[in-house]
Structure 1
Amino acid sequence: MTDQLTGGQALVAALEAHGTDTVFGIPGTHNLPVYAALADSPIRHILPRHEQGAGFAADGWARVTGRPGVCVTTTGPAVLNAATAAAQSYSDSVPVLLVSPGLPLGHPGRGNGYLHEVKDQRAALDAIVAYSHRVTGVEEIPLAVAHAFAAMTGGRPRPVHLEIPLDLLDATAPVEVAVPTPVAPVTAGRAQIAAATTALAAARRPVIIAGGGSSGAAHSLRRVAERLGAPVVTTANGKGTFPDGHPLAIGAGLHHTAVRELVAGSDVVLAVGTELAPADLWFGPLDIPGTLIRVDIDTQALTTNALPDIGLVADAAEALKALGTRLEAARTTGPADPGRAAAARRDFTAAARAEGADYLGLTAALGQALGRDGILAGDSTMACYYGALSNLPAHHPRSFLYPTGLGTLGYGLPAAIGAKVARPDAPVVALHGDGGLMFTVQELATAAQLRLPLPVVVWDNGGYGEIRNEMADRGDPVHAVDLPAPDFAALARSMGCHGVRVEDAAHLATALETGLGSDRPTLIHLPGGTP
């Protein structure tokens, strides 16, 4: 049906048609027509305190739901503030639609000093997302939204930027709202499935590496692993896809020596939805003398960092479902030796505990508080990548939100807000270092306004601890890394949150339990790395 709509109304109608129920954003002079339309829409609007926080919150929402998040900003500095969040979403393959106005259609090509003018805003965003598109008519807006959602849901999920010239937002035109584009799953060819089945059926020492691309394939992944008796290790973004506590679960963290030795001793390696990226491996590529089978929805990623012997360009759920069905008929030798997984898990656990020794009290308290259904949103902090990554149990996909590839600071708190908005009944905790929290500390006010029962744990090591250690390891002068701590608890209370300081792991567990049952966020300050 065709209706006479403004550009702002056309955008909001198109978002509604694609099932959007939550938008994160901040109003500004140039996007007011969008906000006028949102006021009459059933879409819930969440108001962060900074556009970077809006982008991170949309990212957290998308990771938890598996659906595209939406972030709305105004022009110029606002959309550039959100650029870091968009780049993080691109790095970790998270679908987020970033919408902003652009300069008017007739704006001089070389500029004239217009408010919020950027030399080439669309090009700036195009450099860090899947693509950036500038519409040229009100009638085009719904189609551009449909194309964006198709791109984000029909292949490798990555963010898209949509720029709408600001003069189109108040302009009217007859508009037909495009229905969502049907997206067919990407399936592997029969020959590739057959070759992978043959190799796996004959394997005596198989292993599975599950990345973030397998998060929608947990059931089929488990079926294949159990049929093969294959130990399963996960990347940071794959954490929880294969449940910790399962006899075949080794843990999350590809950098451990135990994982390298397990892979080197395997005759078949099945890598699903992972780039086998340096950001996960830390110390160089894996030695893979056996047959490498890679499953990835992205053709380019299939050959990134390691060339497969057998490559399946496919959605992980479709590929693993097909492999599971064929293996039940093809594999006659029974599962591999279960003792192999147990031995690898012992080695992995010992290494993880040694690496994260300073954080074991923290991870134990977090595990107790989160239980089996909880979600941790972690920042790029030592407490997360040395502590929680390999020592905190995860029992379901999309329960460990972490900025793996780009490694930005400030991610945890706003991502936790997005996660809690998406899953209000699930326990959600944010984990930060003292340095990283200050990048987005203003979002405590957002969480307080929303009355979210959200504990925010601050592991305070007096500054940028990782960089301090790297300087020392290089033999460089150690400087510019120490941060005098504010009174974090008082700062939180000034923004409408509870704020407490704890001195040991027992008090941390109590504070987490209290915070999860509170009427507002609770900042929990651990000075000096207490636990």
Structure 2
Amino acid sequence: MAVETGHAQRNGGDLVVETLAALGAKTVFGIPGQHALGLFDALSRSPLHFVSSRVENNSAFAADGYSRATGEVGVLFLSTGPGALTALAGLQEAYATGVPMIVVASQIPLEGLGARRKGMLHQLDDQKASAANVTKSQRLIQHASGIPSAIQDAWTEAVSSPQGPVWIEVPQNVLLDPIFVPAVEDALADPFDNPPRVELVREAVKWLTDAVRPAIVAGGGVRRGNASAQLLSIAEKLNAPVVCTPGGNGAFPWHHELSLQSWVEDRYVTEVLEDADVLVVIGSSLGEVSSNYFTMEPRGRIIQIDAEPRVLESNRPALGIRADAGQALTALDDALDASLSADANWHGATPQAVVAETLAQVNARLDEQDLALERKFMADIREAVPSDMQTFWDMTISAYWGWSCWDSRDGEFHSAQGAGGLGYGFPAAIGGSLGLQSLGLPARVLAVAGDGSSMYSISELATAKQHNAPVTWLIVDDGGYGILREYMVGAFGKATHTELARPDFVKLAEAFGVPAKRVKPEDVGDALREGFAAGGPNVVVVDVLLKMFGPTHLDI
């Protein structure tokens, strides 16, 4: 029975959006669905801004990009069954990279759950189980009065290290039925404290005090833990060379005299890390990319710091310290003596000399590989992109170059290196740009994709146009899946089924009402500057076949 309030009858959907708004959410991504109608009706009574994508997976990427760009929690609304399943690949990237998100998925009515009523549209036997591999936890809400507490708890979990997406399901009738619960006025969700254990910090300090060749691998956890200042202080106290993984790009100053930049896929850099007597790994699993495809064989001891306990020692024996990177590095920084820097000695050379020589070797090796086109192309993009602009990179050869050579300067570097799925760059950039815009910050961003990955998210040109998202999308068109082509030629001497028929991207963008132009590789910088100066979305297409660099001077 409805309660007379003088206003439209509130329902469970109102409790969802009221709680999210009370927790600080501003923007929601997703696509409406039959079982989620109560949720979307409630949005009409909410201050939340809704961004409707064209494919649910792209909605997940957009919420991910929003969170990475703003530092806030991404919010995603999904419909039941096919809509929920379609978003899973995007959630895999957020889960692998540690992006805090709240995912609210609708569900069939309560009386249909548990296979008591079969044959309902969109019905899955266990929808939560489908999300179990790509979210931190999953909740089913069975009563409207439980919605505020459940969302508050989920938000707390999402922002607590290790951060990540949290899944909430609300059945159709719980969203639609009238409620007597008063409007949500406030909600509180502070992250759980995750400090390092005292005895582990003490042991790590002992190792580092005795070290003469310490080195540091800075992963994405450093950025997520806002620990760049502590990392810099520790590196200078230890006089330790630092290399950043793709996820850690920007965590350490690019041109610092101790910076090995991000050349984790280079054998010269790998050798420095192997030679360290103590290797400190922060916020990284030393996985496939950060271990130079498992070729790195450290000869010294390893200190590994990560908020995710499953990461610790997953690839190498180490002194594992489970902790938020910011709290762990603060504890180490407070405990380390600044005079330690005088003890560093790399076989008679200073760490600064080792870093300079290693980077010179990297560049000399690149000089030998006929990569003038690729290096100029990446340099022209870097020169055109404003120092503080955020960039979003799809899984394409340009991004593989970016993982190693991109100096993010005062901006932020975001890529799909966590799970490696195609289609991330453009929808994530849309979410990032709209998020920055909502905060009143410079909102123009760059998305970089190949022609293959662009087809995964081409429909989001409509989203970008509808919301006038200030995204410049660079599509590097090489006629196929370029990185897979290289892999197959390298492994088998030929590529099979990597070549693609594709549209005229310029005409296609224009059909969506988005300005676009095709340019030669040598003109990419000017084209990007023109796009950055424009309003709303625009597209730059470059026809060019880029090669990857060979990461080694050895036959390994």
State the 1:66 CA deviation.
2.6
State the 1:395 CA deviation.
2.3
Give the gaps of 5 or more residues in structure 1: none
State the 1:279 CA deviation.
4.1
Amino acid aligned to 1:300: R
Task: Tell me, in whole angstroms, the C-alpha distance in 2 between the residues paired with 1:482 and 1:276.
Answer: 33
Matched, 1:102 2:118: no
1:352-401 per-position Cα deviation (integer Å, ceiling 9, x unaligned)? 6759654222211221122321211111111211x21112211257x111
Counterpart position of 2:535: 519
Task: Tell me, in whole angstroms, the C-alpha distance in 1 between the residues paired with 2:405 and 2:48.
Answer: 38
* Structure 1 stretch displaced more, 334-343 or 129-138: 334-343
1:233-276 per-position Cα deviation (integer Å, ceiling 9, x unaligned)? 11111111112122211122422102210111111111101111
Whether contact under 8 Å (2:264, 2:290) holds in the other structure is yes
1:467-505 per-position Cα deviation (integer Å, ceiling 9, x unaligned)? 223333343764322112321111111111111010132
Whether contact under 8 Å (1:378, 1:430) holds in the other structure is yes
Counterpart position of 2:379: 364
Task: Tell me, in whole angstroms, the C-alpha distance in 1 between the residues paired with 2:252 and 2:20.
Answer: 33
Task: Tell me, in whole angstroms, the C-alpha distance in 2 between the residues paired with 1:427 and 1:342.
Answer: 35
SS at match of 1:466: helix
Counterpart position of 1:445: 462
Task: Tell me, in whole angstroms, the C-alpha distance in 2 between the residues paired with 1:355 and 1:313.
Answer: 44
Task: Tell me, in whole angstroms, the C-alpha distance in 1 between the residues paired with 2:125 and 2:279.
Answer: 48
Amino acid aligned to 1:513: R
1:305-363 per-position Cα deviation (integer Å, ceiling 9, x unaligned)? 1121x222211111111211222367373666221222222234445675965422221
The 5 Å alignment of 1:255-294 reads 255-294=265-304
The 5 Å alignment of 1:169-318 reads 169-175=175-181, 177=184, 179-215=187-223, 216-308=226-318, 310-318=319-327
SS at match of 2:120: coil
SS at match of 1:508: helix
Whether contact under 8 Å (1:377, 1:429) holds in the other structure is yes
* Structure 1 stretch displaced more, 370-379 or 208-217: 370-379
Counterpart of 1:345 (choices 335, 353, 359) is 359
Q: What is the TM-score with the length of structure 1 in the denominator?
A: 0.93
Whether contact under 8 Å (1:243, 1:394) holds in the other structure is no
1:123-174 per-position Cα deviation (integer Å, ceiling 9, x unaligned)? 1112322122111110111111111111111221121111101110012334
Task: Tell me, in whole angstroms, the C-alpha distance in 1 between the residues paired with 2:462 and 2:336.
Answer: 53
Amino acid aligned to 1:423: L
1:27–1:355 Cα change, 3 Å: farther
Amino acid aligned to 1:191: E
Counterpart position of 2:136: 130
Task: Tell me, in whole angstroms, the C-alpha distance in 2 between the residues paired with 1:348 and 1:40.
Answer: 57
Aligned residues: 525
Whether contact under 8 Å (2:208, 2:278) holds in the other structure is yes
Matched, 1:467 2:475: no
1:344–1:91 Cα change, 3 Å: same
Whether contact under 8 Å (1:236, 1:253) holds in the other structure is no
Matched, 1:377 2:392: yes
Counterpart position of 1:149: 155
Give the gaps of 5 or more residues in structure 2: 548-556
1:82–1:313 Cα change, 3 Å: same
Q: Structure 1 segments of 4 or more deviating over 6 A?
A: none
SS at match of 2:354: helix
State the 1:450 CA deviation.
2.0
State the 1:440 CA deviation.
0.7
SS at match of 2:110: coil
Task: Tell me, in whole angstroms, the C-alpha distance in 1 between the residues paired with 2:271 and 2:540.
Answer: 39
Matched, 1:22 2:27: yes
Task: Tell me, in whole angstroms, the C-alpha distance in 2 between the residues paired with 1:100 and 1:5.
Answer: 19
Amino acid aligned to 2:405: N
Amino acid aligned to 1:316: A
Task: Tell me, in whole angstroms, the C-alpha distance in 2 between the residues paired with 1:165 and 1:476.
Answer: 53
SS at match of 2:53: coil
Amino acid aligned to 1:44: H
* Structure 1 stretch displaced more, 223-232 or 168-177: 168-177
Counterpart position of 2:422: 409
1:435–1:276 Cα change, 3 Å: same
Counterpart position of 1:34: 39
Whether contact under 8 Å (1:243, 1:396) holds in the other structure is no
Task: Tell me, in whole angstroms, the C-alpha distance in 2 between the residues paired with 1:426 and 1:250.
Answer: 30
1:142–1:173 Cα change, 3 Å: same
Counterpart position of 2:515: 498
Q: How large is the Cα RMSD of the aligned pairs?
A: 2.2
Amino acid aligned to 1:414: P
State the 1:282 CA deviation.
4.6
Amino acid aligned to 1:529: L
Q: What is the TM-score with the length of structure 2 in the denominator?
A: 0.89
SS at match of 1:479: coil
State the 1:205 CA deviation.
1.3
Whether contact under 8 Å (1:7, 1:171) holds in the other structure is yes
* Structure 1 stretch displaced more, 6-15 or 117-126: 117-126
Task: Tell me, in whole angstroms, the C-alpha distance in 1 between the residues paired with 2:103 and 2:304.
Answer: 31
